[in-house]
Structure formats: C-alpha cells, structure tokens
Amino acid sequence: MEPYVLVHGAWHTGAEMEAVAAHLRKKGYLVHCPTVAGNNRRDDRAKIGLEDAIGSIVSYIEGNDLRNIRLIGHSYGGMVISGVADRLTDRIRRLVYVNAFVPLDGQCLNDMAPPHYVSLFDTMAAANNNAVMLPFEIWREAFINDADLDLAKSAYAKLNPHPNNTFTDKITLKRPLAELSVSKSYVNCRQDISLPHSLPWHPRLSERLGLFRLVECDGSHEMFFSNPARLAQAIEEAARD
C-alpha cells in the first residue's frame, strides 16, 4: 500500500500522531509520523522558521524515498504539507487536511488566525525567546472540548513550546494549491472551535483546495487524543482513491 505521512500541528511531535497511526497500521497501511523541525526537544525556537519546518519534511520524504504518498496535515501542519506539496508534487498521491490551514501564496498562518491568538502569541514570543505555548484554559475549552479533564491534562502535558516564526513567516508557493495536479481532501471535525465558527476551518479554508473531497465527523480539534479510532477512520475515508 502507498505510505501515509502524518504531519502534526503546533506544540506536538510525531509521537502524538501514533495513536491514530496505530489504527491505520492495523488495516495494513504503512504510516510515518515524523517530527517537524522546531518541535524536537533541542530545536532552537528562536531561529527556526517555516522554511525550516517545510524542509524537514521534504528531507524526510526524500531520505526515505517515499512515493505515492498520502500526505496528511493537522492544523499548523497544513502550512507544512502545502509547502511540501509545492516542492514534491510528483511524490504525492493525495493531500489530506485535518482541520488544517490552507494558505495562499504569500500568506502566513497568522493571516488566517483570529486577532486574539495573534496578539497572545506575539506577546508570549517577545517574553520567551520566540517560543510560544498554548495556555491550558484555551486548550481545555477550545481544542479538546470533547475530553474529560483528566485526559485534557494528560494530553496537555505532552505538548511542547513552538517557534513563533512558523506562524509569522509567509509561505512561498509556485502555484495555488487548487492548481496542483494532486488529489485533495479535507477532514472537518464538527465540534472543533479552536478557530471560532465565525472564522471556520470549513468552508472558509477548505474551498481554497479547488476540487476536493469533504469528510466530516463529530469531535474536537484534538481527536488525535480524544478519539483516535474515529479520526483514523475519517482520514482513511479522506485518503482513499
């Protein structure tokens, strides 16, 4: 079977994708869960930017000689897979965005985020050598609202500081994502309020993909923790031919 590459979002590493990956592997899929540059323990958050993040996944794919990939990006991971797809179009069979950012050329993630997040992270970055962390109160209520308090706390303990440059750096794309000769899908978790529903993931961002397959399921932004079996099913539905 063609390989799946799961690209995590901000504050995560590849390890947090493993619960979903395990369900996909049970069905016979080969699944990779790399950690994006900027989220490894010893990475310098002050220096790493979006191009470094994209380049790390490009290098992972080329280094492992992966082809016919189902490339899945969650949240901030949408920025990363968009850049990877622009550079390695011929290696990708389908792009799958899981409540993920879909940028236009010249946009940064913050261009698509609510102003209150932007100001919060800019303030944090200035005080913490460019590293930003999601406050637990936001995590609990907006990101993992379908979990009980114990799971919210244990999941939060696995998160790590994130380089703010990856939120402020503008992406360079040779062509709009809608014009890429790659199949595309969008997974929309209906109770995801990490972005307010007045600035929704779908259809505000998903429609930038042009022709795409929509798969929806009930759950929060962090189904990788709260319901990995259901999210794996949705990703499989989104990634199949």
Task: Please report, for the chain, the start and end positions of each structural domain, with discontinuous segments joined by +.
Answer: 4-239
H or E stretch covering 123? helix 115-127
For residues 229 and 10, what is the distance between their CA atoms, to the nearest angstrom?
Answer: 21
Q: Between β-strands 183-189 and 92-98, what pairing exists: parallel, antiparallel or unpaired?
A: parallel
User: What pLDDT, on a 0 to 100 scale, did the predictor assign at position 1?
Assistant: 77
DSSP state of 34: P
Query: Architecture of 4-239 per CATH?
Result: 3-Layer(aba) Sandwich (3.40)
Q: How far is CA 68 from CA 27, 114, 218, 239, in A?
A: 18, 35, 29, 12
Task: Identify the CA nearest to 130 among candidates 98, 181, 167.
Answer: 167
> What sign results for the dihedral spanned by CA atoms 164, 171, 35, 52?
negative
Q: Exposed/middle/buried for 40, CB within 10 Å: 0-12, 13-18, 19+? A: middle
> What is the DSSP track for 177-189?
GGGSSSEEEEEEE
- The phi, psi pair for 96, rounded to 5°, reads -125, 120
User: What pLDDT, on a 0 to 100 scale, did the predictor assign at position 2?
Assistant: 84
For residues 160 and 43, what is the distance between their CA atoms, to the nearest angstrom?
Answer: 11
pTM greater than 0.95 (yes/no): yes
What is the full per-residue pLDDT of the chain (241 aa) written as tens digits? 789 999 999 999 999 999 999 999 999 999 999 999 999 999 999 999 999 999 999 999 999 999 999 999 999 999 999 999 999 999 999 999 999 999 999 999 999 999 999 999 999 999 999 999 999 999 999 999 999 999 999 999 999 999 999 999 999 999 999 999 999 999 999 999 999 999 999 999 999 999 999 999 999 999 999 999 999 999 999 999 9
As given in the structure block, the two tokens for residue 223 are: 């189904």
The SS3 of residue 70 is strand
Q: Exposed/middle/buried for 8, CB within 10 Å: 0-12, 13-18, 19+? A: buried
Note whether 48 and 166 are within 8 A (CB).
yes
Note whether 6 and 72 are within 8 A (CB).
yes
